[in-house]
Amino acid sequence: MGILANAFTWWNGASWGTSIVTRLRGEEVGRDEAGNVYFRHRKHPSRRWVIYQGSNDSSNVPPGWNAWLRGTINDVPEKALPKRRSFELAPQPNLTGSGAAWRPSGSMKGQGHRPTATGDYTAWTPDA
């Protein structure tokens, strides 16, 4: 179902239409560590797009390539940006909805217990 799914869906990867337009009018500019491939239009270089490796999730695009896609920088990130420093962490995709998402201590899926209410709090009741 992989090849046939791309005929009708866009969230599993590039659709057939995107693949055709990319081959006819696109020029590959570079690839990132995650395997995403970046293109620009041959006649209109300000038009830029990415073909994702895996699911189409924009949080999988590293910050440097995101700046290139938005036109913040004109050259590819390897040439336009300084090298990542040793203390900088690698970018992470959006973890919302996954097991690695941050949960506060009082949440239902978080660790620990919610602190008890102190004496300065009085619950609202509709009769009061």
Q: How confident is the model at residue 2 (pLDDT cuts 50, 70, 90)?
A: low
Q: Which two tokens stand for residue 68?
A: 């290139």
pLDDT at 11: 67
pLDDT at 95: 87
Given a cut of 60, is residue 8 above it in pLDDT? yes
Worst-scoring range by mean pLDDT, 20-24, 36-40, 102-106? 102-106
Choose among 58, 54, 67, 61: nearest CA to 32. Answer: 61
Q: Which two tokens stand for residue 62?
A: 């590293």
- Greatest mean pLDDT among 26-30, 53-57, 118-122 lies in 26-30
Choose among 94, 53, 61: nearest CA to 77. Answer: 61
- At 32, the amino acid letter reads D
Q: Which pTM does this prediction carry?
A: 0.70
Given a cut of 60, is residue 59 above it in pLDDT? yes
Cβ 94 vs Cβ 57: under 8 Å: yes
Pairing verdict, β 26-31 and 48-51 = unpaired
* Contacts within 8 Å (CB) and 24+ apart, 106-109: none
Given a cut of 70, is residue 10 above it in pLDDT? no
